[in-house]
Structure 1
Amino acid sequence: MRLTPQQRHHNETKIRAAMDRLLRGDLPPGGKCDIKTLARESGIDRTAFYGNRPYVHLREEFENRLTAIRQTGERPDPRDAQIARLKKEITTLKERLIHRNETITELTDIKTEVLSRLAAQHEEIIRLRRRADQAADVHRLPVRAPVIEPRN
């Protein structure tokens, strides 16, 4: 069945309206910014956009506009923008993770060194106490009981 000029004009109007919506980023659920979605949104059979069919020029126009939009850095498909944003976020998180791991390693090394020093100081205190206990000329001072102040 051949299309009348009015039907063809009506279909082209529907296709252009759907094209504008898709290129603005107004995508239907489960749709992308592509010919398949354009055909579905305009209610035209997808095969009409290929070969020597009547709407090849509209497919080419759609693809050219889509390419021009992408070259400016915009993304009509919000999922493309979301994927780009998530990739950037993953890169940032990986860098933060590397930095955190380096910090944890440094802090673990410091902790080990501090514990070694504390153990060495404890051993030194014990050694000095033994020596003081064995020495005859060292007198211990009496230990006072702590003073407890009354509460108001």
Structure 2
Amino acid sequence: MRISAAQRTENENRIRAAMDRLLRGEIPPGGKCDIKTLAREAVVDRTAFYGTRPYAHLRVEFDRRLQALQQAGEIPDPREAQIARLKAEVTTMKERLSRSESTIDALAEFRTQALARLAAQHEEIVQLRAAADGTNPITRLPSARTTTITIGSCS
């Protein structure tokens, strides 16, 4: 079915208006920032955007503007923005978990080494005490006495 030039202009205006709404982030419920939603919002057949169809140049313009927004760091579709944010958060959490696990492993190894050293030192102390008690004549020195010196006043 052929459309008149006036109908085609009206359709292009509706498509451009819908394109502007989608790129501003005004995504309808159940839609995305894509050609399918653009066609639905403009009330135009989606196939008119492909190949040599009448609105293929508008699809190219839509894709170009969408890419420009994405390269500028803006994501018009709130769901896509949330997905990107959550993916980045998952990556950060995985890196944090990996660092935590390596820290835990290092601390567990340190604990094992510290306990082994303490056990070896305790064993050495027990052996030294046993050797000191029986065979070696060790004389214990008397404890140091504290002497109090009083200084009188000079007159």
TM-score, scaled to structure 1: 0.69
Residue 103 in structure 1 maps to residue 103 in structure 2: yes
Bigger Rg over Cα: 2
Of the structure 1 ranges 55-64 and 13-22, higher mean CA displacement relative to structure 2 is found in 55-64
- Deviation string, structure 1 residues 70-98 (Cα, Å, up to 9, x no partner): 33332223344334333433332233233
CA distance in structure 1 between the aligned counterparts of 2:71 and 2:64, rounded to whole angstroms: 11
Q: How many residues align?
A: 140
Q: 1:39: how far off? A: 0.6
Amino acid at match of 1:101: E
Q: Shift in Å at residue 5 of structure 1?
A: 4.5
Structure 1 position 19 matched with structure 2 position 19: yes
Q: 1:56–1:121: structure 2 CA closer, same or farther, 3 Å change rule?
A: closer
AA partner of residue 23 (structure 1):
L
Tell me the alpha carbon deviations over residues 56-113 of structure 1, each in whole angstroms, 9 at most, x when there is no partner: 3322322232233233332223344334333433332233233222212221122112
Q: How do residues 38-53 of structure 1 correspond to structure 2 at under 5 angstroms?
A: 38-53=38-53
- Which one-letter code corresponds to 2:76 in the other structure? P
- Report percent identity of matched pairs: 64
- Higher deviation after alignment, 16-25 or 116-125: 116-125
Distance 2:16 2:3 in 1: 18
| Secondary structure of the structure 2 residue equivalent to 1:3 | coil
Q: Rate the CA distance shift 1:42–1:123 in 2: closer, same or farther, 3 A.
A: same
Could you state the TM-score of these two structures normalised by the residue count of structure 2? Answer: 0.68
Call closer, same or farther: CA 1:136–1:38 in 2, change over 3 Å. closer
Q: Compare 59-68 and 41-50 and name the one that shifted more.
A: 59-68
Q: 1:18 to 1:117 in 2, by over 3 A?
A: same
Structure 1 alignment gaps of length 5 or more = 139-152
Name the Cα RMSD after superposition: 3.1
- Letter in structure 2 aligned against 1:36: K
- 1:35 is aligned to 35
Give the distance between the partners of 2:129 and 2:113, measured in 1 at CA.
Answer: 24
Counterpart residue type for residue 106 of structure 2: E
Deviation, structure 1 residue 131: 4.4
Amino acid at match of 1:123: E
1:75 match: 75
Structure 2, unmatched stretches of 5+, are 139-155
Match of 1:117 in 2: 117
Tell me which moved more, 100-109 or 86-95.
86-95
Judge which range, 48-57 or 106-115, deviates more. Answer: 48-57
Amino acid at match of 1:18: A
Distance 1:75 1:136, change over 3 A: closer
